[in-house]
Structure 1
Amino acid sequence: MNEPTDRRMAAACSLLAKEKRRYLLYQLAEDETAHIEDLVTQVAAWDDTVSTGQISSETRQQTYVSLVHNHLPRLADYDIIDYDLRSGDIVLADGFDDIKPLLEQFKQTEEKQELREQPPL
């Protein structure tokens, strides 16, 4: 592989290493656009493995801060998303296509893991 390809692959792996970023991108991959409050709710629920109605205000606030100060800017730096905090709108950007296959592999792996962890009926 050449150096630019190596850097892109390393960046993709680094971006997808954090669960919150993967959860955020799973949701955006389905809808292509979202509002920050909806993403905060969904990411917090997945992160705590609870329903969206069971999220505490503290968890919601921690997730919001984490997304706004860490995950959203990092994804935007790599042209994976575009976001506007004033409006709360978040959309997929052109760079998403570069990481989409790897994201899909992560999602399949996590879904299989969830099935193995569920107790038998």
Structure 2
Amino acid sequence: MNRANATRMEAACSLLAESERRYLLYLLAETESANLEDFTGQIAAWERDVPVSQVGKDARQLVYVTMVHNHLPRLADYDIIEYDLRSGDVVLAEGFDDIRPLLEQFKQTEEVPELRQRPPL
């Protein structure tokens, strides 16, 4: 394996090590696009292992803030997603196909049963 491929693989593992980023990518893999407001509740629910209906405003806000200030910029830097903060729209970018197989492996080992039962990416 050459150094460029090794570096790309290390970056992919680092990106997917964070659960909120994986959860976002699981959702986007199914729909290819989403709105930030729409998926923060589902991500917060998976993190807390509760139904979306039990996720409060504070939990949603915390996910929103970490997405905007951390996760979305990191994923965009690696061409995994593209996003527009004004509209809240998030879409998969060309680089997603590079990490799709690794993301599928992560999905099969998630502790959240609902995630493992979802259709393949």
SS of alignment partner, residue 91 of structure 1: strand
Larger radius of gyration: 1
Aligned to 1:94: 94
- Cα distance change, pair 53–92 in 1 and its aligned pair in 2 (3 A): same
Q: Give distance in 1, aligned partners of 2:78 and 2:31.
A: 20
Aligned to 2:16: 16
Alpha-carbon shift at residue 3 of structure 1 (Å): 0.5
SS of alignment partner, residue 87 of structure 2: coil
Quote the sequence identity (%): 65
Aligned to 2:50: 50
Q: Give distance in 2, aligned partners of 1:16 and 1:36.
A: 19
Alpha-carbon shift at residue 34 of structure 1 (Å): 0.2
Q: Which runs of 4+ in 1 moved over 6 A?
A: none
SS of alignment partner, residue 50 of structure 1: coil
Instruction: Give the residue type in structure 2 aligned to 1:51.
Output: P
CA deviations on 1:89-121 (whole Å, 9 max, x unpaired) are: 1000000000000000000111xx445xxxxxx
TM-score normalized by the length of structure 1: 0.90
Q: Give distance in 2, aligned partners of 1:24 and 1:114.
A: 14
Q: Is 1:3 aligned to 2:11, yes or no? A: no
Structure 1 unpaired stretches of 5+: 116-121
Alignment of 1:1-121 (within 5 A): 1-110=1-110, 113-114=111-112
TM-score normalized by the length of structure 2: 0.90
CA deviations on 1:39-70 (whole Å, 9 max, x unpaired) are: 21111111111111100111111111011100
SS of alignment partner, residue 53 of structure 2: helix
Question: Would you say the 8 A contact 2:24–2:39 is kept in 1?
Answer: yes
SS of alignment partner, residue 83 of structure 1: strand
Q: Give distance in 2, aligned partners of 1:40 and 1:6.
A: 32
